A and B are shown apart, each in its own frame.
Chain A
Amino acid sequence: MEKTRKINLEAARYNLLKGITIRGVKVQGSLSPYDIPREAAVSYDEMAREYKIHFVYLTPDEPKSERKASPEISLFLGQTSGKLYDIVVRRQELGSLFKIRLELIAKISDLAQETEKSTPPNYIKELNLLVAKKFLEENQELYSVAG
């Protein structure tokens, strides 16, 4: 049996500014409405004992590639944009998402830092990961799914 909860994301609350300097030009860039999640669907599959957080965007999902952050945590990123679409947390008891939230946030933060250092830069991916991190940090409603 699967339990799901949908949470609307207010773009204005979660969007972030990033100071970018390229060839001496400084701008405060931010994610476009196409790359900021509009909704997060959190579900728990009792049979598989796994949590899934799915981020919904204005554009439909693109092909995704899995990135294992740990044996239990997988991040599914868009192959073209690098946007975060899904977070899957395996081998979890119902109600345990809150307990591992710090690990989850740390993994996303690590990936955002890694992206920041990459060349060529991928600002969409970096800012999108930071938005997801902020959402996981600030949204307590997320952890109450069926918990």
Chain B
Amino acid sequence: MSPGPTWSKIGKYVLTALLASWTAIYTWATSYPDPKPWHILALLSFRIWVPIGAALLIVVLEIYLEVKYQASRTVLKKFLDHLHKKYFPHPTGGLNPFCRVTLFTLGSIRRKSLGVRSRSGGFRRTSKVRWSIKRSEAEDFHGIAGYAWALGIFVPIDGLPDYDNCSPEEKVRYLRETFATEKEVSRLHWKARSYRGLVVKNQRGDKIGVLMMESRQPDGLAHINADTFTGEAEYLQLLLA
């Protein structure tokens, strides 16, 4: 369900209903017997502006809700940086280049797939790759994010081969263990060799995303287990509330 108070949800439904039924309303107004009352004439004279106005209002309402109710990307990014520095300390004090922490969440429009909401580490902070939860929930897992989402438990995967420098058999193993296709893996800028996936839930207990830790070393996440997140899970929940 989208965030926001009840008035905003009702407003969105009313505007969407108006938009969807506008052709029928307009046809009814034109066929109204003469002399037409003033409100029918007003409706006919605004025939283009009513649907445009409704569509604009929906967009404005969506943007307003996104800004007001979604945790700011800056705060989330700082939190992921905090996790990164805490669990993968680097001698320079900066971010460890061999690890990254990503929060995948459902899209505000694409509700059936997980995309990068915020990321710490790695060269690219965003990604166009999306992992389908619809497929994953049907046990046709899509990516480790989809796998963790579908199982709902803490998922650790270690000891994956170096995809760019391994035998074809090892590549097949990599694809099998990451639940991705060759095409999808080729699009990844970062081919991690170990993963930790934790489903993030909101305060109602509904799944809303997956916190993913990745390392370029096959045993780089050996010290990370479900209990590592006991404290952080609550903060993440509050940040996304």
Contacts and interface: CB of A to CB of B under 8 A. Distances in A.
How large, as a class, is the contact surface on chain A? 20 to 34
A29 B201 contact: no
A25 B176 contact: yes
A124 B227 contact: no
Contact of B205 (A12, A18, A31, A60): A60
Contact of B233 (A25, A29, A34, A124): A34
A78 to B, nearest CB: 8
Given A30-B153, A123-B152, A15 B203 contact: no
A27 interface: yes
A38 to B, nearest CB: 9
B230 interface: yes
How large, as a class, is the contact surface on chain B? 20 to 34
Contact of B177 (A25, A57, A60): A25
A32 B152 contact: yes
A140 interface: no
Given A15-B227, A58-B233, A29 B153 contact: yes
Interface in B172-202: 176-177, 179, 198-199, 201-202
Interface string A30-54: 1111111000000000000000000
A15 B227 CA distance: 8
Contacts of B147: 22
A33 B153 CA distance: 9
B225 interface: yes
B229 interface: yes
Name, among B153, B198, B227, B233, the residue most crowded by chain A CB atoms within 10 Å (CB to CB).
Answer: B153
A29 B201 CA distance: 17
Contacts of B226: 11, 15, 30-33, 36
B219 interface: no
A65 interface: no
B155 interface: yes
A124 B154 CA distance: 10
B156 interface: yes
A8 interface: no
B154 A58 contact: no
B128 interface: no
21 contacts: A12-B227, A12-B230, A22-B147, A24-B176, A25-B179, A29-B153, A30-B154, A32-B152, A32-B198, A32-B226, A32-B229, A33-B198, A34-B237, A35-B153, A58-B234, A59-B202, A62-B204, A62-B205, A78-B205, A80-B205, A120-B139
Interface of A: 11-12, 15, 18, 20, 22-25, 27-36, 57-60, 62, 78, 80-81, 120, 123-124, 127
Given A25-B179, A81-B205, 17 more contacts: A11-B230, A22-B139, A23-B179, A24-B176, A25-B176, A31-B153, A32-B152, A32-B198, A32-B201, A32-B229, A35-B152, A58-B237, A59-B201, A59-B202, A59-B205, A120-B139, A123-B153
Interface of B: 139, 141, 147, 151-157, 176-177, 179, 198-199, 201-205, 225-227, 229-230, 233-234, 237
